[in-house]
Amino acid sequence: EDKVVQSPLSLVVHEGDTVTLNCSYEVTNFRSLLWYKQEKKAPTFLFMLTSSGIEKKSGRLSSILDNKELFSILNITATQTGDSAVYLCAVTEYGNKLVFGAGTILRVKS
């Protein structure tokens, strides 16, 4: 059965800290790995990763994929209270079906 596992389940840090969120996966027909930020209801797209070893960056956020060891990490540097959210990892299979992990709840304290 396809599965996506995220760790940690929750995390509390102080502003300015750096955090690393983990996502491992086992899927039959891997196509890409996606990271989302969910603050209220709708997940907001962050990154899509398809190639192993190529880092993607957007401001203080960065992510990389290892498709041999089947995991990805999401880094957030110099965290701010606005980074508090649930971070979701999902894997796309052929047919565009998304399999989501349970998410990591991040709380950044001021």
Partner 1 sequence: SAVISQKPSRDICQRGTSLTIQCQVDSQVTMMFWYRQQPGQSLTLIATANQGSEATYESGFVIDKFPISRPNLTFSTLTVSNMSPEDSSIYLCSVAGRVSPSEAFFGQGTRLTVV
d(C-alpha 60, C-alpha 94), whole Å: 31
Find the binder of partner 1 among 24, 32, 62, 75 (CB under 8 A): 32
Q: How far is CA 24 from CA 31, 59, 60, in A?
A: 14, 24, 22
Stretch that binds partner 1, among 18-26, 28-36, 60-68, 77-85 (CB under 8 A): 28-36
Interatomic CA distance for residues 1 and 20, integer angstroms: 26
Minimum separation from the CB atom of position 66 to partner 1 (A) = 18
Out of 70, 71, 73, 100, the only residue in the binding site for partner 1 (CB under 8 A) is 100
107 interacts with partner 1 by CB under 8 A:
no
